[in-house]
Amino acid sequence: MIDIVSAENLPKADGIDSHAAASALKNFVIANDGAAARAGSKKKGVLLYVPAYEFDDGVCQELKRAGGALVFSFADVLRQKGFRRAIILSKMRLALAQCRRGGCAFAVATLAKNDGEIRNARELVAFAAVLGMNPQEKKIAEESAEKLVTR
Amino acid sequence: MKPTERFKKRYVAFVLTVEGVAPLAGEAKQIVHEHFLSFFGESGVSSLAFKLIKYDEKSGKGLVRCERSRADETIFCMACLSEWKGKRARMESTTTSGSIRRAE
């Protein structure tokens, strides 16, 4: 399993074959608003990360057309607490439902900035399950991360 | 109650550290119980069939019981522990099994 992280030289956790630094990936796009998400989704093979997890349905359709994937970050959950954590999880679930409707791929990663945010493969799979991914979708999430990172 | 009517169990093994050191048994019990209660709530913990089975303060290794269909939620809950009373904490799940002996 490949994990995408936000810093370099972080220790590898159990079940993680390799880390890919987001800054080193040419196809990793961070979209801070709707317009940026729409523009980023048109890039071929893009790994689109929208920290707010709010975007319109057109983004998913564009992602499907461009063969890209939406990135769900574990660190976003970890950095929040209590009610705010519940809100971000809810937004992620809605974003996943949008991806299903639009037919685009998705990926799960830690996007860790330090070694305290590193999580093992089992925990990433559990994160995917908690978001509501079925076994087939979990496989899609794993495969799309591997495919798009090694592009 | 028939064995088939009882809830199906899963045992999840974990390693608990606070600032890189395994906490004492009492503190570990408090961390695990409070974290699960804050994550699932009272109703959630009851339906989860949660129980801290054992904890070894020398190694920091422990075992929790949960309901089979909610093992992923339990692992995710453990992974969500990042700090405890201002200190860096980590509860890393290692194995999952249907029996205590295999999970250890």
Domains of chain B are 20-103 (3.30.70.3250)
> ipTM score here?
0.90
pLDDT (average), residues A70-99 = 93
| % chain A with pLDDT above 90 | 47
Measured CA to CA, the distance from residue B52 to residue B42 in angstroms comes to 16
Q: How many CB atoms lie within 10 A of CB B94?
A: 16
Sign of CA dihedral A34, A134, B73, B90: negative
Measured CA to CA, the distance from residue A66 to residue A45 in angstroms comes to 6
Q: What is the pLDDT of residues A51-77, one digit of tens each?
A: 999 988 888 998 999 999 999 999 999
pLDDT score for A23: 87
pLDDT score for A146: 87
B72 and A125 in contact by Cβ < 8 A? yes
Three-state DSSP class for residue B28:
helix
- Contact indicator for A130, A22 with CB cutoff of 8 Å: no
For the cut 70, the answer to whether the pLDDT of residue B92 exceeds it is yes
User: Chain A partners of B88 at a C-beta cutoff of 8 Å?
Assistant: 116
**Which of B38, B72, B93 has its CB closest to that of A129?**
B72
| % chain A with pLDDT above 70 | 99
Task: pLDDT band for A136, please (50, 70, 90 cuts).
Answer: very high
CATH for A143: 3.20.20.140
Structural domains in chain A (count): 1
Q: Nearest residue of A to residue B95 by CA position?
A: A122
Å from B76 to nearest chain A CA? 5
pLDDT score for A56: 87
Structure tokens at A10: 């972080």
Measured CA to CA, the distance from residue A145 to residue A92 in angstroms comes to 17
Q: Which domain holds residue A141?
A: 2-149
Chains A & B: contacts with CB separation below 8 Å: 38
